[in-house]
Amino acid sequence: MSQSLLDLKNSCKGSVREPNDEGYNNTKWAPNATLPSKIIVTPDETEDIVKAIKYARSQGLPLAVRGGGHSSSTASATDGLLIDMQKMNNIRVDSDAKVVYIQAGAKVAQVEAETINQVGVGGYTIGGGIGYSTGSYGLAVDNLVSATVVLANGEVVQASESENPDLFWGLRGVVEAINEYRKVQNPRESVFFLIGLGPDKNPYVIINGLSNSSKEEGEAAFNRFLDLKPVNARADQVPWAEVCKITDSLNVVPGGKIFVGAHVDKFDVEQVQKTYDAWQEVIKKAPFSIVMYEFFDYAKLA
């Protein structure tokens, strides 16, 4: 172990671990998005992040940041130095100002409890932040007021509309997605279209609609899907906290899942047929595989 790494370990309030150290954990939700990190720094404070970045630069190590470990790419994984934000997860609510102060390691479920599941709020927000409440409040990133950012050179800056505005807008990003269904979609609705094998090993289509409303309003919103004559239809009214846990059983880390996401410019029969044909090949080796399309309302997006 080099002296400089020893200095990093001794100077950080959080932990600095190598592959053979107790507590070393580089697992993510999707194993195909995991890389064997040479060093994992789990900071307790912002200064630990500064030290980790400066060390990585001095050693020429690739650098990545992991929030909830939910990324389907290797954006939050590296074979160099990984900054694991899990311990910086404090949340403070200013009810009068209607502002929430959130550290990047907090999970979305923790944020919902103070004001989705195992997704880290840092990557979720910077990546856009699409969720069940998007139709009513827009993207999570559209509600970002300010961010404390550690730059690549280790400098700590504030990013907002008044401070470093270029950096602020870079964090917010732009998401463009329009299809025919969204033209009539209520802002309180979200629809998920899935293809998977049933217990009888035959392919089934599932339409899962979510409406932030009364049960009667939700049923009215999705009645048009009943014209498809489904073999089974069910409507339930549950607390919002339970809605946010719907996919928790699928999001256990590590879970032995390979996950791939993509943006679809045009959702039509031809596109679905191509996807279905590809899925038919996949299930020959991985029969539990599914295809899922997500439809959210984007009227509130900046």
For every residue of the chain, DSSP letters joined together read --HHHHHHHHH-SSEEE-TTSTT-----SSGGG----SEEEE-SSHHHHHHHHHHHHHHT--EEEESSS--SSGGG--SSEEEE-TT---EEEETTTTEEEE-TT-BHHHHHHH--TT-BHHHHHHT----TTHHHH--TGGG--EEEEE-TTS-EEEEESSSSHHHHHHHH-------TGGGT--TTEEEEEEEEE-TTS-EEEEEEEEESS-HHHHHHHHGGGGGG--S--------HHHHTTTTGGG--SS----------S--SHHHHHHHHHHHHHHTTT-TT--EEEEEE--TT--
- pLDDT tens-place string over residues 219-264: 887 776 666 666 678 888 888 888 877 777 766 766 667 777 888 7
Residue count of the chain? 302
CA-nearest of 1, 120, 134, 2 to 71 is 120
- Reference 97, options 48, 146, 151; nearest CA is 146
Indicate whether 112 pLDDT > 70: no
Confidence of residue 276 (pLDDT cuts 50, 70, 90): confident
Quick check: 292 pLDDT over 90?
A: no
Lowest mean pLDDT among 73-82, 93-102, 151-160, 247-256: 247-256
Torsion angles phi and psi, residue 74, rounded to 5: -95, 20
Is there a contact between 135 and 299 (Cβ–Cβ < 8 Å)? yes
Residue 16: is its pLDDT beyond 80?
yes
pLDDT tens-digit map of 153-172: 788 887 777 776 654 544 34
When pLDDT is averaged across residues 146-156 and rounded to a whole number, the result is: 81
- Among 26, 27, 65, residue whose Cα is nearest residue 253: 27
Span 60-73, mean pLDDT?
Answer: 83
CB atoms < 10 A from the CB of 224, how many?
10
Alpha-carbon distance 251 to 272, whole Å? 25
pLDDT of residue 173: 33
pTM of the complete model: 0.59
pLDDT tens for residues 27-46? 877 778 888 999 999 999 99
More confident residue, 82 or 252: 82
**Over pLDDT 70: what percentage of the chain?**
78
**Mean pLDDT computed over every residue of the chain:** 78
**Quick one: average pLDDT of 104-112?**
72
Give residue 295's pLDDT band: very low, low, confident or very high (50, 70, 90): confident
Q: In whole angstroms, give the CA distance from residue 43 to residue 22.
A: 16
Share of the chain above pLDDT 90, in %: 15
What pLDDT is recorded for position 143? 76
Give residue 50's pLDDT: 93
